[in-house]
Amino acid sequence: MKTLKDLGDLRGKKVLVRADFNVPLKATEITDDGRIRAALPTLQELRTQGAKVIVMAHLGRPKGKVVPELSLAPVAKRLGELLGCDVTLAEDTYGEDAQAKVAAMNDGDVVLLQNVRFNPEETSKDEAERSEYAKKIAALADVFVSDGFGVVHRAQGSDYDVAKVLPSAAGKLIEKEVKALSRATENPERPFTVVLGGSKVSDKLGVIENLLSKADRLIIGGGMVFTFLKAKGYEVGTSLLEEDQLETVQGYIKTAQERGVELVLPTDIVVNPGFPSDDTPVAPEVVPADAIPADKMGLDIGPESGKLFHDKIVDSKTVVWNGPMGVFEVKEFQAGTKAVAQGLVDATKAGAFTIVGGGDSASAVRHLGFKDEDFSHISTGGGASLEFLEGKTLPGLEVLQ
C-alpha cells in the first residue's frame, strides 16, 4: 500500500484528503471529536510539507440532499481549533465556491469541502455515475490521500473512485489502522482474546466465523448474548433475540468446542422490566444467566460476569473488542462495559496489545471517562474494522495497492 512518503515533495501541491469526520452532534455541538483528532497527524504532516490541504468528509446520512443540520461547519470550527489555523469551509463539494476557495489557497492553508453526501452520486451504485462525479472533485487537486478508515469498506465516490483518478496514497491514520488490525489478525501474540458485544449477533456473524479459527478465547456480551443463551436452552425473557440465528449460533458453540476455543458467556445478567423510557422505570435486578424471568429484559452483564470478563481479558497478550456489554448510556447498565474497558486498560499496562474496534465501543470508552492512550489502538471505523476482522477485501484499501 502506498503511503505519504511515496508521493514525493508536496510543497505547493494541492492535496485532496478524504477524512472521516462523521462525528456525533447534539444540535450543532460535537460531543466526541475523536475522529477529527485522528486525522491530525496526516493534516499536520501535509501542512508542514507546504501543501495546500483540501479536506473532504461526510456527516450523517443526508441521502444526496442538502440538509443544513448536517453541514460540516461545526467540524471546520473544531478542526481549526485543533490545527491552530483557519479552516475555510466551502459551500459545496466541487462547484463554484469550492473552486474559488481552492484557487485562493496559499501553501499550508486548509479548505474543508462541504458534506460529500449532499451529492447523490457519492453513494451511487452506478460506477459510471460515481466516476464522473469523482473526476469533478479530483479536478481540484494534484494528488489524493485516503485517510478516512471508516469509509474504506465501501466503494464510494470521494474515496474509491477519486483514488482511481489521481496519484494516491494512504494517510497516517489508515496506515496505523491497517498495521494495528493486521497485528491482531495475522500473527497475534497469544493468548488472543476477542470480545464481542453490541445488539445483534447477525452483525458479527462474519467476525465470529473468521476468528473462530484464529482466537484462543471468545467472550460474548451485549444484546447479542441472548441468542447464545437461548441456543443453550436458557430462558431469555423479553431480551433482544434473533430467533433466525439460533441454529447458526449453536453451530458456533459446537465449532468452538471442537477447535478448543474458550467460549466465555456471562454467568449473571442485569435485567429490567423493559427498555428504560418514560413509561418503563429503571429498576435493575441481577439474576443468574440461566434464570432470566420471562417478563424481564436483560440490559447488561452482571457484576460476577464483569469480573470474569475482566480477568479473562487481563490473562491475554492480544485483545480485540467490538461492541458494548449493555446499554452503557444509562448509568445503571454501564458496569459491564466499564469492566471490559478496564480489563483492556489493565491488559495494556501488563504489556498486551489491545484494540477497541471503533463505533459504539469507541464512544463507550470515552463516555465512561477512559483516555485514548489507555489502549494500544482505538479504531475509527466501526463497520470497516469489523469487515477487516472478517477477512474481507476493503475496496478503499485495495485501490491503494
69 CB burial (10 A radius; 0-12, 13-18, 19+): exposed
Q: pLDDT at position 382, please? A: 82
Residue ranges of the chain whose pLDDT lies below 50: none
Q: Report the binding-site residues.
A: 20-22, 35, 58-61, 117, 154, 204, 298, 329, 358-361
According to DSSP, the residues that pair with 113 across neighbouring strands are none
Portions of the chain given CATH number 3.40.50.1260: 4-171, 179-390
Q: pLDDT at position 358, please? A: 72
User: Any residues with CB less than 8 A from the CB of 303 and at least 6 apart, and which?
Assistant: 268, 286, 335
User: Any residues with CB less than 8 A from the CB of 59 and at least 6 apart, and which?
Assistant: 21, 22, 23, 25, 70, 71, 72, 75, 115, 117
Distance (Å, rounded) from C-alpha 288 to C-alpha 309? Answer: 16
According to DSSP, the residues that pair with 196 across neighbouring strands are 220, 322
Q: 179-390, which class in CATH?
A: alpha beta
Q: pLDDT at position 78, please? A: 98
Residue range 96-115, pLDDT digits in tens? 999 999 999 999 999 999 99
- Compute CA distances 359 → 31, 322, 365, whole Å: 14, 8, 11
Q: Report the binding-site residues for ATP.
A: 204, 298, 329, 358-361
Distance (Å, rounded) from C-alpha 298 to C-alpha 236? Answer: 8
Q: Find the DSSP H helices in 49-199.
A: 73-83, 96-103, 127-138, 162-165, 172-185
Q: Report the binding-site residues for (2R)-3-phosphoglycerate.
A: 35, 117, 154
Catalytic residues: 35, 200, 359, 383
CATH number for the domain formed by residue range(s) 4-171: 3.40.50.1260
Q: pLDDT at position 360, please? A: 86
Q: pLDDT at position 363, please? A: 87
Residue range 45-62, pLDDT digits in tens? 999 999 999 999 999 999
Distance (Å, rounded) from C-alpha 251 to C-alpha 231? Answer: 9
Residue range 379-389, pLDDT digits in tens? 998 889 989 99
Listing DSSP states for 337-377 in one string gives HHHHHHHHHHHHHTT-EEEE-SHHHHHHHHHTT--GGGSSE
Residue range 315-352, pLDDT digits in tens? 999 999 999 999 999 999 999 999 999 999 999 999 99
